[in-house]
Amino acid sequence: MLKDAYRDPIYNLKAVVEKTGVSADALRAWERRYGLPNPARTEAGHRVYSRRDIDVIKWLVARQDEGLRIGRAVKLWRSLEGDGQDPLASMPLPPEARRESVAAGSTVAEVRDAWLSASMAFDERSAEQALTRAFAMYPPEVVCSQIIAAGIAEIGEKWCKGEATPHQEHFASQLAVRRLERLIAATPPPTRRGQILAASASGEEHTIGLLTMTLLLRRAGWHVVYLGADVPQEQIEQTIEATKADLIVLVAQQLDTAASVLAMARTAQDQGLPAAFGGRIFDQEPKLRERIPGHYLGSSFEQAVQETEQLMTTAYSTPEVEPTPEALTQARAHFRERRAELEADVWQAVHPQAMDHDALNELNQMVGRSIEAALTFGDIELAAHQLDWIEGLSECYRPPTEHIDPYLRAYHGAAEKHLDERGAMIVNWLATRIGQPSEAGADTVGSEGLTEQVQAGDQ
């Protein structure tokens, strides 16, 4: 009698979702593809599950938590049955799987918290289990945006508050990258015509957004060639020719890497290949979208996939982009020519004030790249975005906030010394940034004067 009750179909689909944490869509897909679980049906055709069906689902989830893909978990179940064994008896459920609800919680926030807690504790097994549960419960778009991306952003905020370390952020990021790469490798062969190149712009090290796009597009049946992070723009022409791609998708998060997107999109345009682009910087600075000869993909993964599919199935012309004014092109070339000398003077002025060697080098790189990128886009004011971000790092102590203002004063003084009228807009912009009136051709300031500026700023 007890055995009959165990197999009696009394639970509807909603109840099973609540008891197992597996989404209704996933349960239907498992049943359709693998025949497991195999619920009964009411006269109206609705699924009804037994207590044993629920344990079968939990058994499959437990195997996923151990690292098996769902297809292999089902094969293991069938193999044990073929040997005359009851899988539930030969490989019992772990104690936590016997609960009525999932250990990681049932809401997105609860799953994200579970993954974050495990990652912060460097608990790889628990973090992997949390992600496995997340992908079983929610669509990939939700997991990638609201759990992985949002979780890593939260760790970054904790780092700035002194509540987390860079190692914890790197650990969580690498777990996410590995999971996305495994999911991409497991996608079925493409079913739709056409080929897409996916690349992070030269200098761009962040890959989670591009990996997510690759996963979602492959799941939608597209053939995507994933080139990865920091793709050199010098060789992109040969890659376009070799792959015979129909579209290139480019991603950037910072202003300087957005300038690399611009260069790569121009190369694609010259070869007759449509370009699409996205990333955080294009959301934060919408005016940049008008400077790229390509199609903006939107601010969400769902929108990006839809836009990409539109571009692959409908003929679109490349948006017209106004050329960069000659004065800014000359200013950029002049700045690049004098940049090393300028930074050497800044170094001489700031380094004696005990600024950390690495922090000073990082500041020089950030500011120099930002000015070059802003001039590339034809608007020196765009460099303010990067400086705002640098100053926002003050809570992270990278670099120490008390050195940023004197550093910028030193940079302004060096710019006055080394840049002529071609760089006047740079000098004047820096003067405005530090709250000083300035005109091109004003008296230059030597290294001694720069040091005095820094010392004055520290008083």
- Asked whether the beta carbons of 257 and 369 are under 8 A apart, the reply is no
For residues 351 and 65, which has the higher predicted lDDT (pLDDT)?
Answer: 65
Q: What are phi and psi of 12, to 5 degrees?
A: -80, 175
Q: How confident is the model over 81-109, as a mean pLDDT?
A: 67
Whether 169 maps to a domain, the answer reads yes
User: Does 428 share its domain with 344?
Assistant: yes
Rg (CA), the chain: 28
Q: 100: which 2 tokens?
A: 């009525």
Number of domains within the chain: 4
What pLDDT is stored for residue 360 in this prediction? 82
CA separation for the pair 212, 218 (Å, rounded): 10
Least confident of 28-37, 151-160, 190-199, 298-307: 151-160
pTM, rounded to two decimals: 0.71
40-41 and 247-251 beta bridge pairing:
unpaired
Angle subtended at Cα 142 by Cα 139 and Cα 147, rounded to the nearest 5 degrees = 125
**82 domain-assigned:** yes
pLDDT, residue 411, reads: 92
Residue 319 within any structural domain of the chain: no
In this structure, the answer to whether residues 292 and 262 fall within a common structural domain is: yes
Q: Are residues 240 and 330 in the same domain?
A: no
The amino acid present at 164, given as its one-letter code, is A
CATH number of the domain bearing residue 153: 1.10.1240.10
Quick: pLDDT tens for 214-247.
999 998 899 999 999 999 888 888 999 999 999 9
Give the DSSP letter string of 401-436.
GGGHHHHHHHHHHHHHHH--GGGHHHHHHHHHHHT-
Residue that terminates a domain, selected from 148, 182, 216: 182
Calpha distance 369→358 (Å, rounded) = 16
Instruction: Provide mean pLDDT across the span 112-122.
Output: 92
Specify whether 438 is located in the same domain as 342: yes
Task: Please check whether residue 394 lies inside any domain of the structure.
Answer: yes
Residues 43 and 87 in one domain: yes
Same domain, yes or no: 337 and 218? no
Q: Which residue has the tokens 């597209």?
A: 222
Pairing between strand 247-251 and 223-228?
Answer: unpaired
Structure tokens at 386: 């990067």
Which of 67, 98, 129 delimits the end of a domain? 98
Q: Please say whether the beta carbons of 207 and 236 come within 8 A.
A: no
CATH code for the domain of 12? 1.10.1660.10
Q: Note whether 293 and 375 are same-domain residues.
A: no
> Mean pLDDT of all residues in the chain?
84
> 208 and 276 share a domain?
yes
Residue 5 structure tokens: 């009750």
- Same domain for 355 and 387, yes or no, is yes
| 246 is a domain residue | yes
Asked whether residue 320 is assigned to any structural domain, the reply reads no
Indicate if the pLDDT at residue 98 is higher than 50: no
358 to each of 133, 159, 257, 361, how far by Cα in Å?
41, 19, 21, 5
- Structure confidence by residue, pLDDT tens digits, 53-77: 999 999 998 888 777 788 888 988 9
Identify the pLDDT of residue 337.
Answer: 96
φ, ψ of residue 379 to 5 degrees: the values are -155, 100
Judge whether 252 lies within some domain. yes
Instruction: Give the pLDDT band of residue 188 (cuts 50, 70, 90).
Output: confident
Same domain (yes/no): 350, 420: yes
Domain that holds residue 236: 190-313
Q: What is the CATH number of the domain that holds 228?
A: 3.40.50.280
Residues 211 and 303 both lie in one domain: yes
Strands (E), 63-166: none
Could you tell me if 159 and 272 lie in one domain?
no
Nearest to 174 by CA among 166, 163, 185: 166
